[in-house]
């Protein structure tokens, strides 16, 4: 409990120095969500790869970009990139778990409420969705994607605590990796459309309608396993990377 209290205190300090982060994120998510709501009916009828990709942004888009420079991911020495605030925390008399919990709390505060609001907006502003999906089924759909935001989206707080890049990886290859990642995502979603005749979001909604309770239970389990995985990975990173 002490570690969580210390982590929350660190989170409050960071949030106090990034007062406009939430507003910036809210604007971004509002624009994306509004656009998706307008084309949702068309997507459900005929499918559209772009819908899946932008929907994915709601859960993989890192809140880190909207922070002020002092709290953004950057180089701290010749081989290590991380959030400087985390580097500062390493010099305090606190445990590794406190630092890890701090990154989890910060990500959760910045991302989860807006993701929840975005998903709720779909149900409230799309009459066709209300008529075809009952509340329990839509809750299952929401739980699926909120859980996805944990076991996949937690790559963001995991990166905050450090990433080691060798000299050969610094000469523009970071940008290449970034482009390659999105190219792979687009290719996977396109392939999914071709094979299953519709998009990934469409089928997750259909699955939630068919088996709402099972979807909720499995999603919660995956989120729990995701937290365990990322905590272990972050602890290993903090112990192995040479930050100085």
Render 126-174 in DSSP notation, one character per residue: -HHHHHHS-HHHHHHHHHHHHHHHHHTTTHHHHHHT-EE--GGGSSSHH
Residues 44 and 2: beta-carbon distance below 8 Å? no
pLDDT at 210 over 90: yes
pLDDT at 168 over 60: no
Over residues 131-159, the mean pLDDT reads: 92
Q: Side-chain half-sphere of 202: how many Cα atoms within 13 Å? A: 20
DSSP reduced 3-state for 75: strand
pLDDT at 170 over 60: no
Partners of residue 66 on adjacent β-strands: none
Looking at per-residue pLDDT, the higher value among 7 and 69 belongs to 7
Percent of the chain with pLDDT over 90: 32
Q: φ and ψ at 81, to 5 degrees?
A: -115, 135
Q: pLDDT tens digits for 102-136?
A: 989 988 888 888 899 999 999 999 998 999 999 99
Residue matched to tokens 């507003």 = 23
| Predicted local confidence at residue 126, as pLDDT | 93
Among candidate residues 144, 114, 138, 115, the one with its CA nearest the CA of residue 126: 138
State the average pLDDT for the chain: 84
pLDDT category, 166, cuts 50, 70, 90? Answer: low
Q: Which of 34-38, 49-53, 83-87, 205-209 has the lowest mean pLDDT?
A: 83-87
pLDDT at 45 over 70: yes
Six token digits for residue 118: 């975005």
pLDDT category, 184, cuts 50, 70, 90? Answer: confident
| Predicted local confidence at residue 220, as pLDDT | 97
| Predicted local confidence at residue 175, as pLDDT | 61
Residue matched to tokens 């999906």 = 133
CA torsion angle 8 17 86 170 (round to 10):
140
pLDDT at 172 over 60: no
| Predicted local confidence at residue 66, as pLDDT | 65
Looking at per-residue pLDDT, the higher value among 74 and 57 belongs to 57
Among candidate residues 163, 63, 156, 78, the one with its CA nearest the CA of residue 114: 63
Six token digits for residue 55: 């929907």
């Amino acid at each position: 409990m002490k570690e969580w209290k210390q982590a929350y205190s660190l989170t409050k300090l960071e949030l106090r120095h990034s007062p406009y982060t939430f507003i910036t994120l809210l604007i971004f998510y509002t624009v994306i969500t509004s656009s998706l709501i307008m084309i949702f009916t068309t997507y459900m009828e005929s499918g559209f790869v772009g819908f899946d990709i932008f929907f994915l942004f709601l859960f993989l888009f890192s809140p880190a970009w909207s922070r002020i420079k002092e709290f953004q991911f950057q180089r701290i020495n010749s081989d290590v990139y991380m959030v400087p605030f985390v580097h500062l925390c390493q010099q305090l008399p606190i445990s590794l778990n406190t630092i890890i919990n701090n990154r989890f709390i910060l990500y959760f505060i910045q991302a989860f409420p807006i993701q929840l609001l975005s998903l709720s907006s779909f149900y409230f502003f799309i009459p066709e969705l209300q008529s075809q999906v009952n509340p329990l089924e839509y809750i299952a759909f929401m739980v699926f994607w909120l859980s996805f935001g944990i076991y996949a989206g937690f790559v963001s707080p995991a990166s905050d605590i450090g990433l080691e890049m060798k000299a050969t990886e610094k000469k523009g290859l970071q940008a290449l990796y970034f482009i390659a990642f999105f190219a792979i995502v687009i290719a996977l979603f396109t392939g999914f459309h071709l094979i299953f005749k519709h998009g990934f979001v469409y089928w997750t909604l259909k699955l939630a309608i068919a088996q709402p309770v099972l979807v909720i239970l499995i999603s919660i389990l995956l989120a729990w396993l995701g937290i365990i995985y990322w905590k272990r990975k972050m602890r290993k990173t903090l112990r192995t990377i040479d930050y100085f």
